[in-house]
Every structure is written in structure tokens, then in C-alpha cells.
Amino acid sequence: MTVIVTGGAGFIGGNFIYYMLKNHPEDRVVCVDCLTYAGNLSTLKEAMEHSNFRFCKINICDREAVYGLFEEEHPDVVINFAAESHVDRSIENPEVFLQTNILGTAVMMDACRKYGIRRYHQVSTDEVYGDLPLDRPDLFFTEETPIHTSSPYSSSKAGADLLVLAYHRTYGLPVTISRCSNNYGPYHFPEKLIPLMIANALADKPLPVYGEGLNVRDWLYVEDHCRAIDLIVRKGRVGEVYNVGGHNEMRNIDIVKLICKEFGKPESLITHVTDRKGHDMRYAINPTKIYNELGWLPETKFADGIKKTIRWYLENREWWENIINGEYQNYYERMYGNR
């Protein structure tokens, strides 16, 4: 079958493309990505050598270009990873989040309606559920937890999710949605917590922890997320939402201390900076549904995943050094300069 993967030059989409080429070599994979600051063609260097892989530089908001591609490729499946994905940038400038995350999703689904599709899958996030209090470790997000967003990013993702479910009900579009917790692993853009701390620790630069660093995230190795999406697309029930997470809750401060330890760097590098506006306290997924229906369980333990990730950043310095030496420097100065 032919699978369109949007956002494949980014972190999770890129990992998903390699997952597909490895596990389903019989499928044709067409990557749609407009290469924003977060998209990186060098991520797809090895994929480019596969005969059943195609890269198309297309913005998912560009209806004409998207329809043209559907006419050429007749995809069986569309998996929409493309998004503006960074909470801090959404606080700086929400507009592009609304454009890509909501309007872009509508364009992709309109194309699916017009040309026909076996499955449209929306890659969403646990952030659509808002946050949980730190003093209630018994609470977890289930698929029934009400949508209750905090940031422009999570609001735009929630808007997209509602639209996806509406297209299912109104037009009968065969959709599924996955809502995953925080991912980590190779090709993670260095503006996000784990790769930022790895890059700064290696350069003996301050490690900027927002507030006290007590916020909790539920970390999942990216390959486990890719496997979950693949299962949902092939075996999940149409019209359903599946939460994806591995019961691996950690406080930010503990992650940063662990990274210091792995590199033998002093904890004195840790610098507490002004907190993020509206900062969500805790995310925690209840993955019972995907386990019961599809047998999915995470395979990579955090202790192993973080070692693999650190090794990848050490062995692929060029990939991330090219990023942090470019336009990213302006962002870093804006975000952390006077914090």
C-alpha cells in the first residue's frame, strides 16, 4: 500500500519512516513536509536511498499541492505528524499553530474525502487533556478524560482532534487518533528538554530548568510510539482514540540530574530560570485500552532508552551541531537570554 507520512522530516515522523522502511518494506512511503525550522532533510538521508520512498516538499495547508499529490499517488493511508510542536514557541506566536495544526489537518482530511482513503490517522498528544495535580498520583489520563487545554499548542492539537472526530461522524471518514505522552530518542530537535540538556551539558553551558523543575512528564522511547501508531493504523478500530504511554513518569529536575551524571558533569550547571507561562504540572497516561485491544506495551525501559539516545547524540554530532549553529541561535537568545 501507499502511505503518506506528513511531517516526516521532523523527530517522530522521521523515526516512523525508518520504522516503516524496516518493518514494512513492501509499502510505498511518501513523505510530505514543508521543512520548517524543525524539519531537517538530513534526517531522511538514508531513507532517500530506498526505491519505495519519496520526499515531497509540500505545506499541508497548500490545498492545490496536496490534491495534486493525491492525484499522483492515490494513497491508501495518511498519517498526519506535521505540526508546530513546541509549547514555548506557541506562547510566543500562536498563529502558525492554528494554521498548520488545525487548517492543515482539515486540508489533509478534505483530500482524503475527495480521493478516498482506507485510513486517516491523526498523531495527537496527551497535552489535549490538560494537566494533573502533583498530589494525586492515582489520577491518569484515559480516552474519556475531558479535553482541557493549557497552551496555544495543546489547544490547536485539541481543535484538530475535534475536527478529526467530526469528519468521521459527519462524512464517515475512516479515522483514528493516537494521544501519546512525551517522546525521546534520535533526531529530537534540540529545543526540547532532553536534547537541549544533552547539547548544553556537552558544551558545559548552563542547564535551564523552568521553575523548580518539579513538573512531571511520562517519557516514551520514540520507537515504541512508532510501533503503537503502526498497530493502530493496521488493527485499530475506526473512529477510536488510543492513548499511548508507558507509565514512566519523571520530574524534569531528575532528568537533568541524570543527564549530568551520564556525562560526568557537575549539577552546578543546573540553572533555575523563570517558569513557562501556564506550565502544565503533570502528564500521565493510562494505556489500558491500547494494551487490551492491540496488545501494545512499551519495549524500551527508560534506563536503556536514555543511554541509546545519549549515544546517538554523541555519534551524530553533525546532525544537531548544524542545527544549533544556525538560525536556532536567535531563538535560543530570545528564549533564554534574559530569563
Grid cell in block for residue 273: 530560570
Specify whether 204 is catalytic: no
209 binds, among ligand NAD, ligand TYD, none (CB under 5 to 8 A by kind): ligand TYD
265 binds, among ligand NAD, ligand TYD, none (CB under 5 to 8 A by kind): none
Which positions from 186 to 225 touch ligand NAD by CB under 6 A, shown as an x/- string? ---x------------------------------------
Site residues for ligand TYD, 67-106, by CB under 6 A, read 87
What beta strand segments (E) does 17-166 contain? Answer: 28-32, 53-56, 77-80, 119-125
Find where cell 461522524 sits.
169
Residue 178 parent element (H or E): strand 175-180
87 binds, among ligand TYD, ligand NAD, none (CB under 5 to 8 A by kind): ligand TYD
39 binds ligand NAD (CB under 6 A): yes
Q: How far apart are the first and last CA of the chain?
A: 49
Of positions 37, 67, 115, 210, contacts ligand TYD by CB under 6 A: 210
Of positions 104, 152, 190, 305, contacts ligand NAD by CB under 6 A: 104
Name the residue nearer to ligand NAD (CB basis): 47 or 269.
47
SS3 content of the chain, % helix, strand, coil (to 5): 45, 15, 35
Site residues for ligand NAD, 233-262, by CB under 6 A, read none
Contact partners, residue 24, CB within 8 Å, separation at least 6: 230
The residue annotated as part of the active site, out of 33, 126, 223, 224, is 126
Least separation in angstroms between CB 283 and ligand NAD? 10
Asked if 16 contacts 5 with a C-beta cutoff of 8 angstroms, the reply is yes
* Residue 216: strand, helix, or coil: strand
Residue 118's CB is within 10 A of a number of other CB atoms, namely 14
Find where cell 503502526 sits.
230
155 binds, among ligand TYD, ligand NAD, none (CB under 5 to 8 A by kind): none
> Running DSSP on this structure, what letter comes out for residue 138?
T
The set of catalytic residues is 126-127, 153
Q: Which residues bind ligand TYD (CB under 6 A)?
A: 87, 182, 192-193, 196, 208-210, 213, 215, 217, 252, 276
